[in-house]
Amino acid sequence: MADPFLSIQHVEKSFGATKVVHDFNLDVEAGEFVSFLGPSGCGKTTVLRMVAGFEEPSAGHILVGGKDITRLRPNQRNIGMVFQAYALFPNLTVAQNIGFGLRVAGASRADIDKRVAEMLALISLPQMADRYPYQLSGGQQQRIALARALAPKPKLLLLDEPLSALDAKVRVSLREEIRSIQKELGITTIFVTHDQEEALSISDRIAVMYGGKAEQVGAPFEIYNRPATRFVANFVGTLNVLEGTVTDASAGTVRVASQDVALKGKLDGSRTGDTLSLALRPEAIALGARPGHDSKLAGEIADVHFLGSVIRVRVGVGGKQISLDTFNNSSTPPPVVGDKTEISFSSGDVLVLH
Shortest distance, CB of residue 265 to ligand ATP, whole angstroms?
Answer: 37
Shortest distance, CB of residue 163 to other proteins, whole angstroms?
Answer: 13
Q: Which stretches of the chain bind other proteins, using CB under 8 A?
A: 52-54, 73-81, 83-91, 100-101, 104-105, 132-134, 136-138, 141, 145, 148-149, 152, 165
For Mg ion, which residue has the nearest CB?
45
97 near ligand ATP, rule: CB under 6 A = no
Q: What sign does the CA torsion over 173, 201, 186, 93 have? A: positive
d(CA 205, CA 203): 5
* Region of 171 on the Ramachandran plot (φ > 0 left; ψ -120 to 50 alpha; else beta): alpha
Shortest distance, CB of residue 115 to other proteins, whole angstroms?
Answer: 13
Q: Which is nearer to ligand ATP, 44 or 148 (CB)?
A: 44
Which part of the chain contacts ligand ATP (CB under 6 A), choosing from 36-44, 198-206, 248-256, 318-326?
36-44
User: Is the Cβ–Cβ distance between 98 and 119 less than 8 Å?
Assistant: yes
Return the beta strands (E) in the chain as ranges: 6-15, 18-28, 33-37, 59-64, 67-68, 79-82, 156-160, 188-193, 205-210, 213-218, 240-248, 253-256, 259-262, 275-280, 285-287, 295-306, 310-317, 320-327, 340-345, 351-353
> Binding residue for ligand ATP (CB under 6 A) from 8, 11, 20, 157?
20
DSSP string, 103-129: HHTT--HHHHHHHHHHHHHHTT-GGGT
Shortest distance, CB of residue 106 to other proteins, whole angstroms?
Answer: 10
Shortest distance, CB of residue 61 to Mg ion, whole angstroms?
Answer: 23
> Binding residue for ligand ATP (CB under 6 A) from 4, 43, 139, 244?
43
d(CA 289, CA 295): 9
45 near ligand ATP, rule: CB under 6 A = yes
Among other proteins, ligand ATP, Mg ion, none, partner that 41 touches (CB below 5 to 8 angstroms by kind): ligand ATP
Q: Which stretches of the chain bind Mg ion, using CB under 5 A?
A: 45
Which part of the chain contacts ligand ATP (CB under 6 A), choosing from 33-41, 177-185, 223-231, 309-317?
33-41
Helix (H, G, I), strand (E, B) or coil at 350: coil
d(CA 229, CA 107): 50
Q: Which is nearer to other proteins, 159 or 208 (CB)?
A: 159
Q: Which is nearer to ligand ATP, 46 or 240 (CB)?
A: 46
Which part of the chain contacts ligand ATP (CB under 6 A), choosing from 41-49, 93-101, 111-119, 324-332?
41-49
Smallest CA-to-CA distance from 8 within 43, 45, 60 is with 60
What is the per-residue burial (b if ≥16 Cβ within 10 Å, else e) of 292-313? Answer: ebebbbebebbeeeeeeeebeb
HSE-CB at 275 with a 13 A cutoff on CA atoms is: 4
User: Is the Cβ–Cβ distance between 314 and 321 less than 8 Å?
Assistant: yes
> Binding residue for ligand ATP (CB under 6 A) from 35, 46, 93, 188?
46
> Binding residue for ligand ATP (CB under 6 A) from 194, 205, 293, 314?
194
Shortest distance, CB of residue 100 to other proteins, whole angstroms?
Answer: 5
Among ligand ATP, Mg ion, other proteins, none, partner that 15 touches (CB below 5 to 8 angstroms by kind): ligand ATP
Q: Where along the sequence are the contacts to ligand ATP (CB under 6 A)?
A: 15, 20, 38, 40-46, 194
